[in-house]
Amino acid sequence: MNQLAQLKQYTTVVADTGDFQAMQVFQPHDATTNPSLILKAVQKPDYRPLLDETVSAHRGKPVTDIIDHLLVAFGLKILAIIPGRVSTETDARLSFDTEGTIAKARHLIALYEAAGVKRERVLIKIASTWEGIRAAETLEKEGIRCNMTLLFSLPQAIACAEAGAQLISPFVGRIYDWFKKASGNDYSGADDPGVQSVKRIYEYYKKFGYTTEVMGASFRNTSQILELAGCDLLTISPELLQKMADTDGPVERKLSSEAAVKTELQKISLDEKAFRMALNEDAMATEKLAEGIRLFCADAVKLEQLIGA
């Protein structure tokens, strides 16, 4: 079997794209989207009709409302292809607004339910700020499942699990980028800081019995993916999915619950003050979280401009 087929034996494979054709080719179980991926997709000729149809159907409504309908339109198309769940992102400009995030999530779920989709098939993506985590805590109690994104540190992961979030998406590649730039060193295999971060989070969750799912994200190469074989889920771009599908060779399971419970990790308690201090002490996590929010906000604005035009 090729590497992709072998990986699927240990880990749920998720497509990190808004490209329907790629999903049909690689047959992932779940799919994730974000404003950047949707912006990229709607600029392709194959997806322009979906944008035109959505704008036409909701002409006269606020642009932010049209974007919500566009995100859900993509989600509905994706759910017709995959057997599992689709992740749909809230507006990154709400990253520090708990009540605004809750309202946006409820609105997106209402649009899905109006289209006949049960909320169990949708994950609402929320930035892993303190405010976003508090929003997820409320939403999970209402049966609205959350995918906590822009996650770069163990304190963020612990706070998300304590809040009862369904799933977290630690960003392997962006952690790697930061350390490569800061140190001038390249990293590979088990020495990759992004890989090490996800491994530590996975082990912490399994050792202390958290049910929140761990989904490694933002990969730069297949080596990072292979080092996390056995993680609950991995969300992978079409380019890297293709590389794995074209590559033979053994794939070894690297993460397991059995091994995790044997680690000597100590449990950490975090209130708001401790969370903010721990995040502040981690320069990489602080910088990448802020940068990620800025980038998603910028692409949300570009999407608004495209719709306005």
For residues 280 and 287, what is the distance between their CA atoms, to the nearest angstrom? 9
Residue of 84, 132, 131, 87 lying closest to 108 (CA atoms): 87
Which residues of the chain form beta strands (DSSP E)? 12-16, 30-32, 86-89, 122-127, 146-151, 167-170, 213-216, 233-236
Position 171, amino acid: F
Question: Which DSSP category does 185 fall into?
Answer: -
Look-up of token digits 């035109």: 52
Pairing of strands 167-170, 213-216: parallel
Residue 125 annotated among the catalytic residues of the structure:
yes
Helices marked H in 84-228: 98-114, 130-141, 154-162, 172-183, 193-207, 222-227
Which residues of 239-305 form beta strands (DSSP E)? none
Residue of 189, 200, 198 lying closest to 171 (CA atoms): 198
Residue of 255, 244, 231 lying closest to 12 (CA atoms): 231
Single out the catalytic residue among 104, 125, 206, 254: 125
Residue of 131, 165, 145, 138 lying closest to 279 (CA atoms): 131
For residues 208 and 154, what is the distance between their CA atoms, to the nearest angstrom? 14
Catalogue the active-site residues.
125
